[in-house]
């Protein structure tokens, strides 16, 4: 008997038929002898409808009240799910984030989990019940309802698995695992049998949408095995786990991309101490995250050009802020470009192999794809390119690093273990 945390996303519980189908799956697993904590998202589309409803009432909804509203989506799902489970002759109980003991900070809309009191959940598990928890939500020290942001149900599930010391956290979604790249762009994309926490964290933060980055952080910090699989087809998925030797057989494990990126360049910045702080402090004060930063000579003695990227959502606001700073510090013109994308290669094998960057750059050059910016880490290389070349770049790099081939040979997940 094992303690398993399962999470089902919005498409998995999109309507009553899907809710009943998932209930049958969970009851079957319970009858096999496992203890189960099930984390559910709101039904597909419900969160967007709630946001739209709020904006019909107020163009800028109060953050606290918006979280109160948003949390109702998951509460609908957990109640309906428990009804379906009970109709199948199995006992279940639904918990809101508050009832599940999920304490967070008070950053409405983007709260972070600080502590989980597991007493109530363990009490119900000892009574033989399936515990069904609303994902995406918690409460702060004042008892206010908080939400964890988009993808927060993944974070709820992995955090609960860590707190409960569960044997496994299963993330059920509308895809059947983690692929070497987006299969909608590259027909040669291959499903990975397993991937390291580090690689998955990089891929999630760089555009891969299978897992929320914060959930991978929890898994890596507390060593929670995460199994990503489909709730629609009964096939093996992908295990996210600690790095092992087999993962280094391939230099690159995946190709990711994101179009949600924009570049800002400030010309002729005085090349003296403190200028970077003057530029980036206002952005931080307005909660604008800066990604890639490059500083180079402007060709004018004592002056430098600084380029950086932000999310496309923050592009307009960033341009206004930076233009104001440029005037204050006596810099030159400010240029922007939101017709770009970022493409990245990720792999733990890059730690011990040389020449990876050159291979990536040569592959892009052969297709006349110009690289505008570059950033690297121990297991990642990212390039900013013209957005119109995004899909071509993905396919070219996938072929260049031969990701359609399986370097791990005979490794496979046993279906009877995780289904």
Separation CA 13–CA 79 (nearest Å): 12
What local confidence, expressed as pLDDT, does residue 249 receive? 63
User: Under DSSP, is residue 34 helix (H, G, I), strand (E, B) or coil?
Assistant: coil
| pLDDT score recorded for residue 233 | 86
User: What pLDDT does 412 receive?
Assistant: 30
pLDDT at position 167 = 95
Question: Which region holds residue 368: left if phi is over 0, alpha if psi is between -120 and 50, else beta?
Answer: left
pLDDT in tens, 64-102: 999 999 999 999 999 999 999 999 999 999 999 999 999
Pairing of strands 35-40, 130-134: parallel
User: Quick count: other Cβ atoms within 10 Å of Cβ 231?
Assistant: 23
Question: For the chain, which domains are there?
Answer: 3-243 (3.40.1160.10)
Residues of the chain short of pLDDT 70, as ranges, are 207, 245-249, 407-419
206-258 pLDDT, tens digit each: 767 788 888 999 999 999 999 999 988 888 999 999 887 665 567 898 999 99
Q: In what order do the strands lie in the sheet with 113-116?
A: 113-116, 102-104, 137-139, 145-147
pLDDT number for residue 311? 93
pLDDT at 323 (0 to 100)? 96
Give dist(CA 260, CA 392) in Å, integer. Answer: 17
């Amino acid at each position: 008997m094992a303690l398993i945390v399962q999470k089902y996303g919005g498409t998995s519980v999109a309507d009553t038929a899907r809710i009943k189908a998932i209930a049958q799956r969970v009851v079957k697993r319970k009858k096999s002898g496992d203890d189960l904590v099930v984390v559910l998202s709101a039904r597909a589309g419900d969160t967007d409808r709630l946001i739209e409803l709020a904006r019909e009432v107020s163009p800028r909804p109060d953050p606290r009240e918006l979280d109160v509203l948003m949390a109702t989506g998951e509460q609908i799902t957990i109640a309906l799910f428990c009804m379906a489970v009970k109709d199948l002759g199995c006992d279940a109980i639904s918990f809101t984030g508050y009832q599940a003991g999920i304490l967070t900070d008070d950053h409405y809309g983007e709260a972070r989990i600080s502590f989980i009191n597991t007493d109530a959940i363990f009490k119900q598990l000892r009574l033989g019940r399936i515990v069904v928890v609303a994902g995406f939500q918690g409460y702060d020290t004042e008892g206010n309802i908080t939400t964890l942001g988009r993808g927060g149900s993944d974070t709820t599930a992995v955090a609960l698995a860590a707190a409960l010391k569960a044997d496994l956290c299963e993330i059920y979604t509308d895809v059947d695992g983690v692929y070497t790249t987006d299969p909608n762009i590259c027909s040669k994309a291959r499903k990975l049998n397993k991937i390291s926490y580090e690689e998955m964290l990089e891929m999630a933060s760089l555009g891969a949408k299978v897992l929320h980055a914060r959930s991978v952080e929890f898994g890596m910090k507390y060593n929670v095995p995460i199994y990503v699989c489909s709730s629609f087809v009964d096939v093996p998925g992908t295990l996210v786990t600690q790095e092992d030797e087999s993962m280094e057989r391939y230099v690159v494990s995946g190709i990711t991309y994101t179009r949600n990126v924009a570049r800002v360049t400030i010309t002729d910045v005085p090349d003296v101490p403190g200028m970077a702080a003057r530029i980036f402090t206002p952005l931080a004060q307005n909660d604008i995250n800066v990604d890639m930063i490059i500083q180079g000579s402007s060709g004018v003695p004592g002056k430098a050009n600084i380029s950086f990227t932000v999310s496309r959502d923050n592009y307009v606001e960033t341009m206004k802020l930076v233009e104001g700073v440029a005037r204050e510090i006596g810099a030159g013109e400010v240029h922007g470009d939101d017709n770009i994308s970022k493409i990245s290669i990720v792999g733990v094998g890059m730690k011990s192999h040389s020449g990876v960057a050159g291979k990536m750059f040569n592959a892009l050059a052969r297709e006349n794809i110009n690289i505008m910016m570059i950033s690297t880490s121990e297991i990642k290389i990212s390039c900013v390119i013209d957005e119109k070349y995004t899909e071509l770049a993905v396919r070219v790099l996938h072929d260049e690093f031969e990701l359609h081939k399986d370097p791990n040979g005979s490794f496979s997940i046993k279906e009877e273990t995780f289904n």
